């Protein structure tokens, strides 16, 4: 079962990365950016939704899950979770430093940001964290669907706030999912689920 999940995640992640690359390459980012910008009374709720996907929330959630796994003596799962999220997050930040893509025009921003745009670390981090927790703690498909919906909503919020191009978010989702699939495949080889 783990192999099928890993294969699905890598494939879906790869497709999202290709979609993001195509969006950037063929110049669709500007049009989609303008279509998806938030305005009016919904903006504060979108800022709140976006904050849920930041490291200030996702980091403590991951640490609480790590503590719970250790308390339950699921040491292999705890190590897998820590390494998957930590290495994945560092990889996203490294890609940002290599690509150095500017964010959309600052006049569109509904929040202040200071890092590079590509890929969206909110999108990648939320995808990695939520889906990893669904894999480790979820019962059935419902947990996976909720995890994916959370990641999709938070990624969308970054576009709506004007701080990311759509391609940033697509590639962030894709990276998070593909990285998680690779990590899950490795987990199955090194230490099968507890």
Query: What averages of pLDDT result for each successive group of 10 residues across the chain (194 residues)?
Result: 79 92 82 68 76 88 94 92 94 92 73 81 92 87 90 89 87 94 73 47
Owning domain of residue 111 = 2-190
Task: Specify the pLDDT at position 31.
Answer: 73
Residues 150 and 58 sit within 8 Å (Cβ to Cβ): no
Task: Specify the pLDDT at position 42.
Answer: 67
Task: Specify the pLDDT at position 188.
Answer: 57
Task: Specify the pLDDT at position 103.
Answer: 81
Task: Specify the pLDDT at position 108.
Answer: 65
SS3 1: coil
Task: Specify the pLDDT at position 79.
Answer: 92
Q: Count up the domains in the chain and report the number.
A: 1
Task: Specify the pLDDT at position 38.
Answer: 62
Q: Where are the beta strands (DSSP E) in the chain?
A: none
The DSSP line for 94-146 is HHHHHH-PPPSPGGG-SS---S--SS-HHHHHHHHHHHHHHHHH--SHHHHHH
d(CA 184, CA 150): 20
d(CA 159, CA 155): 7
> Helix 121-137 crosses helix 55-71 at what angle (to 10 degrees)?
20
124 Cβ contact list (under 8 Å, min separation 6): 88, 89, 92, 172, 173, 175, 176, 179
What's the CATH number where 115 sits? 1.20.144
d(CA 81, CA 66): 7
Task: Specify the pLDDT at position 55.
Answer: 85
Nearest C-alpha neighbor of 126 from the set 53, 17, 47: 53
- What pTM does this model have? 0.85
């Amino acid at each position: 079962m783990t192999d099928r999940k890993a294969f699905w995640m890598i494939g879906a992640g790869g497709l999202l990365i290709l979609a993001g690359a195509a969006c950037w390459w063929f110049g669709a980012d500007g049009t989609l950016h303008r279509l998806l910008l938030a305005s009016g009374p919904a903006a504060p709720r979108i800022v709140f939704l976006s904050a849920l996907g930041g490291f200030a929330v996702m980091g403590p959630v991951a640490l609480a899950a790590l503590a719970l796994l250790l308390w339950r003596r699921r040491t292999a799962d705890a190590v897998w979770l820590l390494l998957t999220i930590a290495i994945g997050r560092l990889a996203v930040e490294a890609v940002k430093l290599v690509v150095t893509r500017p964010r959309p025009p600052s006049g569109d921003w509904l929040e202040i940001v200071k890092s590079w745009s590509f890929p969206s670390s909110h999108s990648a981090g939320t995808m990695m964290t939520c889906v990893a927790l669904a894999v480790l703690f979820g019962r059935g498909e419902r947990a996976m669907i909720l995890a994916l919906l959370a990641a999709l909503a938070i990624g969308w919020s970054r576009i709506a706030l004007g701080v990311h191009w759509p391609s940033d978010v697509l590639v962030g989702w894709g990276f998070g999912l593909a990285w998680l699939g690779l990590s899950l495949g490795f987990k199955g080889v090194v230490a099968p689920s507890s």
